[in-house]
Amino acid sequence: MTETTLLFRDDAYLSTAEARVIGVNDRGGILLDRSIFYATGGGQPGDTGTLEREDGSMIQIATTVYGDSKSEIVHVPAEGSALPAPGETLVQHIDWTTRHRHMRIHTGLHLLTVALPFPVSGGRVGADEGHLDFDIDGAVPAKEAIEERLNALAAADHPVSTEWITDEELLANPGLVKTMSVMPPMGSGRVRLVRIGDIDLQPCGGTHVQSTAEIGPLVVAKIENKGKQNRRVRIRFA
Ligand SMILES: [Zn+2]
């Protein structure tokens, strides 16, 4: 097993960084000592981008996934790409336009859990839209009311920050977990919390913008009935 330093977790705004190749796995996935590429997880797609070699040639990265553990990041090259040699130094570039849209939608979904305070059973982040599945027993507030509250929360420009707690502290505070079906990754001894001003605090390993005004105006595109109490709420950039 190899370990990657997860640069994206401490600084979601890194769009380029140097790294050393520590291996190529048996499926041709590239392992680096440090990575700015977010790996598919928590409903957010893995980053795409390029790895720039010393001779100036580029390796296209089609997606990024976790390997054998949550500390191994696998950069999946586009089919037919040349592969780097272990020990080689290269420069990572992520597709920043797409990643930044993921960060805006993802942070918008945190605000949606404030605008619509019901338990969450699933979700998905995209570059144009995202959704959360809520467990709502009874009437669902009107689309327009949710949208108005959501945009007011974003426009209030709350700062977004991260902090860490131990597994034990999380277990002692189950109210922190809004997602019923997806418990945050535990077992490494600590869990990352994402705080939005004084309005939201929840465990999350994703990438976020640093203040909510950066999300920009959103619309609640659709509320779908996905089962007994399951209501899927879709948000989109206005
Ligand atoms: Zn998050």
How far apart (Å, rounded) are the C-alpha atoms in residues 123 and 137? Answer: 18
| CATH class for the domain made up of 5-94 | mainly beta
DSSP labels, 91-122 = EEEE-HHHHHHHHHHHHHHHHHHHHS-S-EEE
Examine the pLDDT at 157 and tell me if it is beyond 80: yes
User: Please, which pLDDT band fits residue 180 given cuts at 50, 70 and 90?
Assistant: low
Q: Ligand 1 centre from 54 Cα, in Å?
A: 35
Give the SS3 label for residue 143. helix
> How much is the mean pLDDT over the chain?
93
Burial readout 62-101 (b: 16 or more C-beta within 10 A, e: otherwise):
ebbeebeeeebbbbbbeeebeebeeebebebbbbbebbbb
Question: What integer pLDDT is reported at residue 1 of this predicted model?
Answer: 59
For residue 194, the CA-to-ligand 1 centroid distance in Å is 7
Q: Do the first three CATH levels of 5-94 and 99-237 match, i.e. the same topology?
A: no
Q: What is the pLDDT of residue 184?
A: 67
> Ligand 1 centre and the CA of 44: distance in Å?
9
> How many A from CA of 192 to the centre of ligand 1?
10
Output the CA 110–ligand 1 centroid distance in Å. 6
CA of 218 to the centre of ligand 1 (A): 17
- Rounded to the nearest angstrom, the distance between the alpha carbon of 79 and the centre of ligand 1 is 31
List pLDDT tens digits, range 93-104.
Answer: 999 999 999 999
Distance of CA 238 from the midpoint of ligand 1 (Å):
21
| Residue-level pLDDT at 211 | 98
State the DSSP code for 145. Answer: H
Taking the centre of ligand 1 as the mean of its atom positions, its distance from the CA of residue 108, in whole angstroms, is 9
Domain ranges across the chain: 5-94, 99-237
Total Cβ atoms within 10 A of residue 3: 14
The DSSP bridge partners found for residue 73 are 66
Asked if the 99-237 domain carries CATH number 3.30.980.10, the reply is yes
Q: Which of 152, 44, 132, 33 is nearest to 86 (CA)?
A: 33
- Residue 123: per-residue pLDDT: 94
pLDDT of residue 176: 80
